[in-house]
Chain A
């Protein structure tokens, strides 16, 4: 099957179907082949932005280099404005969230000691679950991004923060802040594409292993914190020789220490303190961790894998400009609709697009800039993918199920008009 690439002047209506390569012959899930675009006719000038051919987002291709840089400058201006405004109210926000999260955690754990009474168990487990979600998402993730480093508070700083997960902050910052955020949705570079376990895009070459795709996803969801720790280890890099065994061993020991502390706290010390009531406490802690796992997995998978998000190949990184980087972040991410409480519980990752454009802006500002970004996208004819959690998650699950089998053209009709897909 011969692929046809959209030309830089392709109009939006020409996108449907024909630009998708479904043969998988150019699959690029491990270090991408260096010449995946060899079929590109010589006569066609290189487009300013090229999504992976099989993924429909040719709107981007309709922009000229200059338009893309203008898009970038407009985003820089938004960013600079927020940086200039950052101040005491932002600091009060994060301190307030941290204070309330800690109160919730103390309250939840205290109630669980009375967990022999079902209402207390339910309330305690719910409070602890919420506390763990806030700690993981709105606090840990965002503090480690350096969103609050400007406050110069060593207690709320990317270099000192450690989170309530089995993965260690140091390893996570490397795999997430650096690899995922720099090489977002680049096959073979961004390990968040499938977490090294799943086939999440049709560009990943199919093998019989992926028949278990739905099962792996369910397990990853329930055990997400363990999946993240495993993901940070990047074992396949030792196999491929990119990482030394001693570096891997050092990392393994570090994560091992973290695991020991986490497991001791939730599954040994707190249950033991409850004496005869250790079982309700143990089950409460187990449930809270599982709730946090399932929730954060759902939010994160909805951030990059619903319909409308785009993956890229490694060769596109070469000479990537600021504007192109912004565009890649934009096209590779999807937002979730909801109210303020929902946004808080997702750690503002419901504003995944804004987070990927400005990963180090304070999270409380994403909701403020989101309408501006949406308007900017409309102006440039770019899609701004957004939808409810249920709808987006179903799309992700449908994709995971479909990709268990070879091939992978799973999408329904693609909207023709540029602009918000929601």
Chain B
């Protein structure tokens, strides 16, 4: 996001003032009271308000978001983690930003394709009202344009177009859309995200657009690359799409000795657990000091709690009532899911604090034992 020099100084002054005000608001922070007035004001917790909802296809929707003071801008191609409340529970998902760097009105956009049966994407795509406040994390990712882009080849499939769209828009806004070939696959014209926008951009001489409808024309084979884009070896390439496309291109470029000329963005879905029992990784400071930097892997059977399993191998675990009522044993889940031993419910997303005394394993998972005693 663009910030002008004049708006920076009062911001800093305000920040100083706010820290003094902390003596008045303790144990809360001044920002907690500011949130009462405007949730976008907080500099510590980036949030954004949805200002426009634009359907792209039957399944995909673009959300234009006005970010609050805490938003520090993004590079074209990066993604943002978005926190959204579904049935009262906050979920975080990553979406590529589809807006250009430094858009004139300061807004950003993401384009969300609803996954059938998904928890979050259908809500974002189809049930987000204008005015909704979304939680944001700073933009991240190294799938970004080089500082001086030369000749480019973009190879995208489905919603993989999203980060590339931000790149194209950024180049167009800078009048730097000089020599780009975009090879995009989508099932059908109706399922093509940004169909109209892409065709508008392709009127510029600098962009050659090749859209392939896989429902009628079949999947793109990389052997066709020589024909469609004969100079592909001379181009810096950006690939984003389904896992098959990513794997194929990885091999193809490596075989040509050009692995360094290609960048990929891989969308990952959260690793889901299943069944009772699994291998749990306990990352702990104690084991690190003993020289084993990687922590401890424990095979946990279906009836054993993560607390008992950790204790059994000597991982220092916080604990309390050991029956799920005191919340004295919670630790952050870093990957995978856990199973509630009382109800059998499998749940969890990275970052969740789980009660280790009533949670068992459900497939592979990682528990962070290095943040014990985490308290203000």
CB within 8 Å of B: which residues of A?
76, 80, 83, 86-92, 99, 102-103, 106, 145-146, 149-153, 155, 157-160, 162-164, 169-170, 173-174, 177-178, 181-182, 258, 261-262, 264-265, 269-270, 273, 325, 359-360
Contact = CB atoms under 8 A, between A and B. Distances in A.
Contact of A177 (B24, B91, B320): B320
A181 B321 contact: yes
Contact of B320 (A89, A91, A106, A182): A182
Interface of B: 23-24, 26-28, 32-33, 36, 85, 87-91, 320-321, 323-328, 330, 342-343, 349, 352-353, 355, 373-376
Contacts of A152: 89-91, 349, 352
B357 to A, nearest CB: 11
B89 A360 contact: no
Nearest to A322: B323
A265 B90 contact: no
A91 B23 CA distance: 29
Contact of B375 (A145, A163, A170, A269): A170
Contacts of A173: 326-328
A99 B89 contact: no
A321 to B, nearest CB: 11
A138 to B, nearest CB: 16
Given A151-B88, A164-B27, 14 more contacts: A102-B32, A145-B327, A149-B353, A152-B349, A159-B374, A162-B27, A173-B327, A174-B328, A178-B326, A182-B325, A261-B27, A325-B323, A360-B325, A360-B327
Given A87-B87, A151-B89, A159-B330, A359 B23 contact: no
Contacts of B33: 102, 106
A159 B343 CA distance: 23
A152 B120 CA distance: 14
A129 to B, nearest CB: 18
A182 B321 contact: yes
Contacts, number: 103
Nearest to A262: B26
Given A83-B343, A177-B320, A160 B328 contact: no
Contacts of A162: 27, 376
A160 B32 CA distance: 13
A69 B66 CA distance: 55
Contacts of A87: 87-88
Given A88-B87, A169-B375, A269 B326 contact: no
Contacts of A258: 27
Interface SS of chain A: helix
Given A152-B352, A173-B328, A91 B27 contact: no
A125 B355 CA distance: 40
Nearest to B319: A178
A374 B233 CA distance: 77
A360 B324 contact: yes
A273 B25 CA distance: 14
A88 B88 contact: yes
Nearest to A150: B89
Contact of A155 (B32, B320, B325, B375): B32
Given A152-B352, A270-B24, A177 B375 contact: no
Contacts of A265: 23-24, 26
Question: Taking each of B27, B33, B374, which has the highest tally of chain A beta carbons within 10 Å of its own beta carbon?
Answer: B27
A263 to B, nearest CB: 11
A336 to B, nearest CB: 22
Contacts of A160: 375-376
A220 B194 CA distance: 68
B328 A178 contact: yes
Contacts of B353: 149, 157, 159
A225 to B, nearest CB: 13
Nearest to B86: A88
Given A151-B88, A157-B353, A162-B27, A177 B327 contact: yes
20 contacts: A80-B343, A88-B87, A149-B330, A151-B89, A151-B90, A152-B352, A157-B353, A158-B330, A160-B375, A162-B376, A173-B326, A173-B327, A174-B328, A177-B328, A258-B27, A261-B23, A269-B23, A270-B24, A325-B323, A360-B324
Q: Which of A164, A265, A273 has the most CB of B within 10 A?
A: A265
Contacts of A80: 343
Contact of B325 (A83, A86, A181, A264): A181
B278 to A, nearest CB: 22
B335 to A, nearest CB: 16
Nearest to B373: A170
A76 B323 CA distance: 13
Contacts of B89: 91, 150-152
Contacts of B28: 102
